[in-house]
Amino acid sequence: MKKNVIVGQSGGPTAVINASLAGVYKTAKDMGADTIYGMRYGIQGLLEKKIVDLGEKIRNDMDVELLKRTPASFLGSCRYKLPESSEDKAIYEKIFAILEELEITAFFYIGGNDSMDTIKKLSDYAQTVDSPIRFIGVPKTIDNDLEGTDHTPGYGSAAKYIATVTKELVRDGLIYEMQSVTFIEIMGRNAGWLTGAAVLAKSEDCEGPDLIYLPEVPFDVDVFLEKVKKLVVEKQSIVIAVSEGIKTADGRYVCELSAHSDKTDSFGHVQLSGTGKYLSDLIIEKLGCKSRAIELSTLQRCAGHLTSRVDITEAYQVGGTAVKAAFEGKTGQMVILKRVSQDPYICTTDLYDVHKVANLEKKVPRSWITEEGDYVTAEMKNYIEPLIQAELTPIMITGQPRHIIIDDLPDIK
């Protein structure tokens, strides 16, 4: 029996998502997989038979190293919500027919909450039709909101980028002898893990941000204005980190206070943008102070030049653990990271039932946010700090990072 495997990537990318792909590929190859297929554009691409033979592209150890250092999703991604098998059995029949045609024994999906939902549904369907194919989820998300795992690959590098940018903006705000307020809008719909990383800028050579607002605590516009009003009297430059998803007590997103948007993605999520801009305009209007908003946007997830070595190493490890688990007969599981020790930092991998992960969100503990809800505690800083340590230097060619690309690799017909 052939040991062919297939791997895909889904959802928003991270700076280290391809390190997990490299971990899957290298471990599967070392463990004797015959062919390692890649889904172009996730499960959606699989349905369209957009499949490549990764062995034709990743030819040597240098390609593996380049892959680990290449940001964004090498195979392409999708935001496709797989329906329940009871609602559309034909889709499942098509997926499994394609997998059987390719003689697949193991299926790996690198992604976040919605991707783990896909693994759950596929592994459940496999049991109902008595399919031997194993389905394993490989965690990935800069949002760090997956249940069951201490943290997610991708978060450490995003946190490193946010901390660095925050520190640089604090310096920039002091160049002129005038009052100014700078808002840094950071990704985070319902969980403030990324925004909390701005606290890392607070160090012996930097005072860090003055205020940090996470979506876990309701945002009061009037109380906020009073805080900034006091700070403007005391300080020359004020830097405020805000999650894009902060809400008022009545459940409205702050970014919707100026202009409501009904735009949603394929999973029904409201598209968020403009929180920093709204608050910045409010400061100008109410306090007459110079203000600006900086939206980090997708830079948080694709800044491959500033990855954390800890993060990229763990991303590679979870890919390898997924393959080992599948080859040992495991299915319906997600690989997790377990923090064994804080000082020195030691982390291992393990498995977690994907049914306990899918469609759940892990939020920042309320105890890690100050009582007033305008900053984070030392506990959160201590939790994040080990994840941003060390660097993996890009391979530079003509002054720029070299990446590996897949565009010239034809699909399998």
Question: Which residue ranges are tagged as binding site for Mg(2+)?
Answer: 113
- Direct distance between the N- and C-terminal alpha carbons of the chain, in angstroms, rounded to an integer: 22
**Alpha helices, DSSP H only, in 134-220?**
155-172, 193-196
DSSP annotation of 5 reads: E
DSSP annotation string for 208-242 = --SEEE-TTS---HHHHHHHHHHHHHH-SEEEEEE
> Does the annotation count 150 as an active-site position?
no
**Closest C-alpha among 254, 231, 228 to residue 243:** 254
Tokens of 380: 């959160």
Q: Which residues fall in the annotated binding site?
A: 12, 113, 141-143, 187-189, 244
Integer Cα distance of 99 and 356 in angstroms: 26
Catalytic residue among 61, 63, 114, 143: 143
CB within 8 Å of 247: residues ≥ 6 apart: 215, 218, 219, 253, 254
- Residue with token string 């895909």: 8
Kindly calculate the radius of gyration of the chain based on its CA atoms and give it in whole angstroms: 22
The 3-state DSSP class for residue 353 equals strand
The enclosing H or E element of 350 equals strand 345-353
**Closest C-alpha among 371, 187, 216, 211 to residue 283:** 211
DSSP classification of residue 102: T
3-state DSSP assignment of residue 47: helix
Q: Residue 376 gets which letter from DSSP?
A: B
Q: How many residues does the chain have?
A: 413
List, as residue ranges, the binding site for diphosphate.
Answer: 12
Beta bridge partners of 376: 369
Prior bond to 153 cis, omega within 30? Answer: no
Annotated binding site for substrate: 141-143, 187-189, 244
CA distance 332 to 126: 10
Q: Centre a 10 Å sphere on the Cβ of residue 215 and count the other Cβ atoms it contains.
A: 24
Query: What is the SS3 assignment for 13?
Result: coil
Active site members:
143
